[in-house]
Amino acid sequence: MNATSTAPHDTDCGAPVVELGVPLIGGSHQRSSAGTAGLDTTDATRSERFAQMRAGELGSLHSWELVTAVDGPGTRLTAFLSGCPLRCLYCHNPDTMEMRRGEPISADELLARVARYRPIFEVTGGGLTISGGEPLMQPAFVARLLRGAKEMGIRTAVDTSGYLGAHCTDEMLDDIDLVLLDVKSGIPDTYRKVTGRDLQPTLDFGRRLAARGTEIWVRFVLVPGLTDAPENVEAVADYVATLSTVSRVEVLPFHQMGRDKWETLGLKYELEDTQPPSPELVARVREQFRERGLTVY
């Protein structure tokens, strides 16, 4: 995260935003081209770009990809936005943490790309998933994407840690069909160790989603020696069991696939010696969720 991105605040129009670093041009690590057609970013002044970002006309995109059977039902276009307030030790996309590493893209351009896949979404029951990084670092941009997708009749999902859930307006929630809620730990001290941040905002956001009837898929990353303590899993499972709109829990085994990115970025990777969980450990943790009547994958 860059030095300007830590302080959430409200704008005078009432839409919460995070003060963002202006994206670097051409600085992304893309799986697919982010693109900037129709957006004269080289001539736009810094303040103009800030204004566009505040209005949600412009966002910072890391990459996008077409996926099936992950990030929500059916075939989905998943847009990975740049910027994240968390610093998860196991993050496999640390290049999404800083917003300025992303590439500027207009909401209209991204929505035009989404529109191309509408027939596939219709056939497969898929749609648009907005992920990151942390999408709620760019709430106005996300709000435009959600609204644009719904106007095209496309189903939507947002993949979030919930840490910035207070930035998600009720109007945005009206345009979200599914939230992929990453609950990274159930014990506050463990959560802080894993992410560097507080657990409470995530708990609050999940409860708000359940109270308004928004469907939730919970994701829990199982990391031996970090998140696997029985009492930590119990705390997550106890919490999730109180959320009436959770339709599935995904226990995601830790892997080392992001390791090289940490090194490339010159960041210290603290899980160098951590192994993926054994099948027995994965089974134990899944069972801890199942014992509460939850549907677990």
Measured CA to CA, the distance from residue 287 to residue 114 in angstroms comes to 37
222 binds ligand SF4 (CB under 6 A): no
193 binds ligand SF4 (CB under 6 A): no
The region of 92-100, 112-120, 212-220, 260-268 touching ligand SF4 under the rule CB under 6 A is 92-100
Number of residues that bind ligand SF4 (CB under 6 A): 12
Q: Which window, 4-12, 53-61, 93-101, 286-294, contacts ligand SF4 (CB under 6 A)?
A: 93-101
Report helix, strand or coil for 59.
strand
Tell me the sheet residues that pair with 10: 16
Q: By CB under 6 A, tell whether 277 contacts ligand SF4.
A: no
Between the alpha carbon of residue 288 and those of residues 98, 119, 285, the distances in Å are 35, 39, 5
Is there a contact between 89 and 102 (Cβ–Cβ < 8 Å)?
no
Supply the DSSP string of 79-146, one letter for each residue.
Answer: EEES--S---TT-S-GGGSSGGGSEEEEHHHHHHHHHHTHHHHHHHT-EEEEESS-GGGSHHHHHHHH
- For ligand SF4, the closer of residues 91 and 111 by Cβ is 91
Q: How far is the CB of 43 from ligand SF4 (least distance, A)?
A: 31
| Shortest Å, Cβ 259 to ligand SF4 | 13
CA distances for 2 relative to 7, 18, 266, angstroms: 11, 12, 15
By CB under 6 A, is residue 81 in contact with ligand SF4?
no
- Position 96 contacts ligand SF4 (CB under 6 A): yes
Q: Which two tokens stand for residue 144?
A: 């435009």
88 near ligand SF4, rule: CB under 6 A: yes
Would you say 84 or 243 has its CB closer to ligand SF4? 84
φ, ψ for residue 9, nearest 5 deg = -155, 165
- Tell me how far, at minimum, the Cβ of 163 lies from ligand SF4, in Å: 8
- Which of 63, 93, 106, 202 touches ligand SF4 by CB under 6 A? 93
Residue 84, interface with ligand SF4 (CB under 6 A)? Answer: yes
- Among the listed residues 95, 98, 134, 177, the single contact to ligand SF4 using CB under 6 A: 134
Can you spell out the DSSP letters for 210-244?
HHHT-EEEEEEEE-TTTT--HHHHHHHHHHHHT-T
Binding site for ligand SF4 (CB under 6 A): 84, 86-88, 91, 93, 96-97, 132-134, 161
